[in-house]
A and B are shown apart, each in its own frame.
Chain A
Amino acid sequence: MKFVKALGALAVIGAMSLSGAAYAQEKIKIGVSYPTPTHAWAAGMNWHAEAAAERLEALYPDIDIILVNSPDPSAQASALEDLVSVNQIDALVILPFESEPLTDPVLNVKKSGAFITVVDRGLSQPGIEDIYVAGNNPELGRVSAEYMKTRLKSGDNIVILRGIPTVIDTERFDAFMAEIEGSGINVLDHKHANWNRDDGFEVMQDFLSRFPDIDAVWAQDDDIAIGVVAALKQAGRDGDGMFVVGGAGMKETIKGIMDGETLIPIDVLYPPAMLATAMDVTVAKFKSNGPVAGRYILGATVITKENAESFYFPDSPF
C-alpha cells in the first residue's frame, strides 16, 4: 500500500513539474547528445561543448542547453527519447555514435518538430538534418601531403602510421596518397598504429630498424606522433631535418609548435571544438537575423607557429 501511495505521490509531483515545464515553454531548449568521451580527442570535445553551453546560456538567458552523453548507441537512442518526452527540446545537436542505429531515433526527434543539427558522423538517410557540421578527413590527408611536398624533394623517403582501420582512416590515407602521387616522394610502408601512443612507439621502432633512410613521418594523429618522437629520440634519429606531421590539435603539440619545435613543425586540425561550433550554429538559427541551414564543413587548418596561439586551449584535457 505504502508503495502505491508513493507511486501516486510521485505521479502528482511529476504532473506538477510537467505543467511547470509547460509554463516555462518560452525558453528555447536545445538538447546536445554525444558519445561519452573515452579518448583524449573526445574529452577535448566534451570540454569545448561544456564551455560553449555555459557561454551561450550566459549570453542568451532564454536559451537552455541540455548536455547528455551516452556510453553506447542504444543508450544514445534512449537519451534522444528522453530529450523529446521529458525535456521537450526545440532543437537537437547530435554527434551520433554510429550512423545506422541512430538514423531512426533522430528521425523520430525530427517528427516531434525539433530542429536537427548532425555533427561529424552523417546519418544513413539524407535530408533528416537541417544543419550538418563536420571535420574534413580527406582534407586532413591532402593538406598533410601538401606540406610534405613543400619540405621534401623527389626521391626522399617517408613512412606512414595509420589509425584504427575505419572509414575515417581510409579517407585520410587515400587523400594523402592521391596528393603525394607524382611528387617522386617514396612511401616506404604504412602500418596501423591505432591512434595510440604505445603502438606509435613500437611501429616506429620497427620502421627505424627496417629502413635506414627515412626523411619524414606522417603520423596522422598527435597521439601516434608522441610515440613516434619517443622512438626517434631513442634511436638517435631525430636530427638531420627529420620531421613528423601529426593531426587533430592536441594542446601539447600546439604548445610545442608555439615554442618553435622542429621535430613536429606543424599540426593539421581536426577540430575538437566541432560540437561547440555546431551548438553556436544551432543557437544562431534561433537568434540570427539571417537564415541558418546547410552543410558546414570545417577546414583542416594547418597550425603553424604563426597561428598556433588561437588553437591553444591550456585548460582543455586535449
Chain B
Amino acid sequence: MSDSAPSGESKTRMPHFDIKIMGPAIALVLLCILGYVLNPAFVSEGNITNLLTRSSFIGIIAVGATFVITAGGIDLSVGSMAAVIAGIMIIVMNSAVGTFGTGVTTVLIGAGCSVILGLGAGWINGFLTTKGKIEAFIVTLGTMGIYRSLVTYFADGGTLSLDFAIRGTYRPIYYDSFAGLPVPVWMFILVSAVGWILLNRTAFGRYCMAIGSNEAVAKYSAINVDRIKTMTYVIQGLCVSLATIIYVPRLGSASSSTGVLWELEAIAAVIIGGTVLKGGYGRVGGTILGALILTTIGNILNFTDLISNYLNGTMQGLIIIIAVWLQRGEWGRSKRIKKAE
C-alpha cells in the first residue's frame, strides 16, 4: 500500500531538512514574529488563548476534511452543515427545557442530537458519492445549498437563539478553561490526536491514501473502496458536529450567516498543511498548522491599521499562496535534491 504514496515515503526519510514538511511551521513562526513586531500585545496570554480557541472550529472541521481530501474526495457542505446542526441543536434544546429542565441533561441531549445529525449528514454525502456515483463536488455543492436554506427556513430568515436559562449550563463549554487551556482547545487537541493516529497508524488511514492516489488499483487490491470513502465523509460529519457543540455556547445563536465560507477555510487549512488536493497524501499535523495560520492572519490584520480594511482579502490570499508555495515551489525541491546528494 505504501508503494502508492512514494512522495510520502521519501519525506519520512529526512524530516529534518524537508522544506515541504517544515513549510507550514515556518510560515506560522514568521507570521507570529510579524504579529509581535506589529504589536507586542499579540503574544499576550489573552490573545494567544483567543487565537487557539478560535482556531479550534476550523481546525476540528479541517481534521475531518483531511480524510475526505486524502481519499480523493471533497466536502463543500461543512459550513452549511455546521449552521443547520447548530440551528437544530438550539431548537431541540429549547424544547427540551420544558421536560428536562435547564441542567446538564438538556445540554447532553443537544450534543447527542448534534452527533447523530453530523454522522447522518456525512453518511448522506458519502452514500451519494459512492453508491449514487455522483461527483463529490456536485453532491456536496447540493447539500451545501440544502443545509443553508434549511437553517434559513428554521430561523424564519432571522436568528435562532438558545434559551437564556440553558446558557448558564452550556456556557462553560466554550468559555471555561481546564489546566490553563480553554475547553475548545482540548477538544481540538483530542480530535487531532485521534485523527493523526487514524491516518498514520491504522489500516484505514493507509486505505484512504491508497484510494486517493489510485482508486482503481485500490479496488483491485481488495479494498472496499465505497465503504472507506463513505467512512471519510462520516468522519467529516462527526468533526462538524463536534465543532458545532463548542460553537453554539459561544454566542448561543445560529442564523443563515453561521459558518459561511467555513468549507473554504477548512479546505485551505488542509492544503496549506501539505495534504494534496487531488488526494493520495494527507497530513493531520499540517492541517492543524494550516488552521492556526488562517486564524493568525485574521488576528494580525485586526492588530494593525497599516493595511486598509478593504485589502484584508488580498493579504489573506497572498499569505495562503506563499504558505503553499513554501512547500511546493521548485526552489524547495532543487534544494532538497542537492541535500540528498
Residue of B46, B158, B257, B305 with most partner-chain A CB within 10 A: B158
Contacts known (A190-B309, A230-B251); A38 close to B175, Cβ less than 8 A: no
**C-alpha gap A32/B302 in the complex (Å):** 42
A201 touches B157 (CB 8 A): no
Q: Judge if A97 is at the interface, Cβ distance under 8 Å.
A: no
Q: Is the CB of B256 within 8 A of A38?
A: yes
Question: From residue B42, how far is it (CB to closest CB) to chain A in Å?
Answer: 8
CA distance A91 to B39 in the complex (A): 58
Query: Which chain B residue has the least Cβ–Cβ distance from A233?
Result: B175
B301's nearest neighbour on chain A, judged by CB, is: A191
Residues of A close to B105: CB separation below 8 A: none
Q: A162-B309, A165-B310, A317-B156 given as contacts; is B302 within 8 A of A252 (CB)?
A: no
With an 8 Å Cβ cutoff, the count of chain A residues facing the other chain is 35
Q: Interface size (B, Cβ < 8 Å)?
A: 32
Partner of A317, one of B50, B157, B257, B258: B157
With a cutoff of 8 Å between Cβ atoms, the chain B residues found around residue A39 in the complex are 157-158, 255-257
For B251, B298, B301, which residue has the most chain A Cβ atoms within 10 angstroms?
A: B251
Task: Say yes or no for B312: interface residue by CB 8 A criterion.
Answer: yes
Q: Is the CB of B159 within 8 A of A209?
A: no
In Å, the complex CA distance between A317 and B160 comes to 9
Closest-CB distance, B313 to chain A (whole angstroms)? 10
**How many Å from the CB of B174 to the closest CB on chain A?**
9
CB proximity of B243 to chain A, nearest CB, Å: 13
Q: Is A197 touching B157 in the complex (CB atoms < 8 A)?
A: no
Contact B298 A40 (CB under 8 A): no
Establish whether residues A196 and B305, one from each chain, have CB atoms under 8 Å apart when the complex forms. Answer: no
Whether a CB of chain B sits under 8 angstroms from the CB of A218 is no
Known: A209-B50, A226-B251, A234-B175. A43 touches B158 (CB 8 A): yes
Q: Which of A37, A190, A196, A208 touches B257 (beta carbons < 8 Å)?
A: A196
| B70 proximal to A (CB < 8 A) | no
Q: Which residues of B contact A189 (CB under 8 A)?
A: 305
Residues of A179-218 contacting chain B, CB below 8 A: 189-192, 196-198, 201-203, 205-210
Chain B residues whose C-beta falls within 8 Å of the C-beta of A196 in the assembled complex: 257
- Do residues A209 and B44 form an inter-chain contact, with CB atoms below 8 A? yes
B residues 278-329 with Cβ under 8 Å of A? 298-299, 301-303, 305, 309-310, 312
Contacts of B303 in A (CB 8 A): 206, 209-210
Residue A318 CB within 8 A of the other chain: yes
**Is A235 engaged at the interface, CB distance under 8 Å to the other chain?**
yes
Given A209-B44, A210-B302: A230 in contact with B250 (beta carbons within 8 A): yes
Q: Is B26 an interface residue (CB 8 A)?
A: no
Least CB separation from A212: chain B residue: B41
Q: A46 at the A/B interface (Cβ < 8 Å)?
A: yes
A234 CA / B184 CA spacing, docked (Å)? 15
What are the residues of chain B within 8 A of A197 when measuring CB–CB? 159, 251, 253, 255, 257
Closest to B258 in A: A198
Contact residues in A for B41 (Cβ distance below 8 Å) = 209-210
Task: Give the distance in Å from the alpha carbon of A290 to the alpha carbon of B255 in the complex.
Answer: 43
Q: Which of A36-54 contact B (CB under 8 A)?
A: 37-40, 42-44, 46
Q: How far is the CB of B44 from the nearest CB of chain A, in Å?
A: 6
Q: Is the CB of A201 within 8 A of B256?
A: no
Q: Are B157 and A192 in contact (CB under 8 A)?
A: no
Instruction: Please indicate the chain A residues that have their CB under 8 angstroms from the CB of B7 in the complex.
Output: none
CB <8 Å contact, A235 and B46:
yes
- Residues of B contacting A235 in the complex (Cβ-Cβ under 8 angstroms): 46
Chain B residues 2-23 with CB under 8 Å of chain A are none
B157 and A38: CB pair below 8 A? yes
Q: Which residues of A contact B157 (CB under 8 A)?
A: 37-40, 42-43, 46, 317
Docked Cα-Cα span, A318 to B155, in Å, equals 10
Contact A44 B251 (CB under 8 A): no
Give A39 to B152 CA distance when docked, in angstroms.
Answer: 8
> A317 and B152 in contact (CB under 8 A), knowing A196-B257, A209-B41?
no
Asked if A207 and B302 sit within 8 Å, CB to CB, the answer is yes
Pairwise interchain contact B46-A209, C-beta atoms closer than 8 A: yes
CB 8 Å contact bits of A153-193 with B (1 = contact, 0 = none): 00000000010010000000000000000000000011110
Say yes or no: is B54 at the interface (Cβ < 8 Å to chain A).
Answer: yes
Interface residues of A in 205-264 (CB under 8 A from B): 205-210, 223, 226-227, 230, 234-235, 252
Q: Out of A165, A207, A318, which one reaches B158, CB within 8 Å?
A: A318
CA distance A210 to B304 in the complex (A): 9
Q: How far is the CA of A93 from the CA of B91 in the complex (A)?
A: 35
Least CB distance, B287 to chain A, in whole angstroms: 21
Nearest chain B CB to A42 CB, angstrom units: 6
Beyond A209-B47, A226-B253, A234-B175: 9 further Cβ-contacts under 8 Å? A39-B255, A40-B255, A162-B309, A165-B309, A198-B250, A202-B54, A226-B251, A317-B158, A317-B159
Across the A-B interface, the 5 shortest Cβ-Cβ residue pairs: A43-B157, A317-B158, A206-B302, A37-B157, A209-B47
Would you give 27 A-B contacts (Cβ < 8 Å), ordered by A? A39-B255, A40-B155, A40-B158, A43-B156, A43-B158, A46-B157, A162-B309, A190-B309, A191-B309, A197-B159, A198-B250, A202-B54, A203-B302, A205-B50, A205-B54, A206-B47, A206-B299, A206-B302, A206-B303, A209-B42, A210-B41, A210-B302, A223-B159, A226-B251, A252-B161, A317-B155, A318-B158
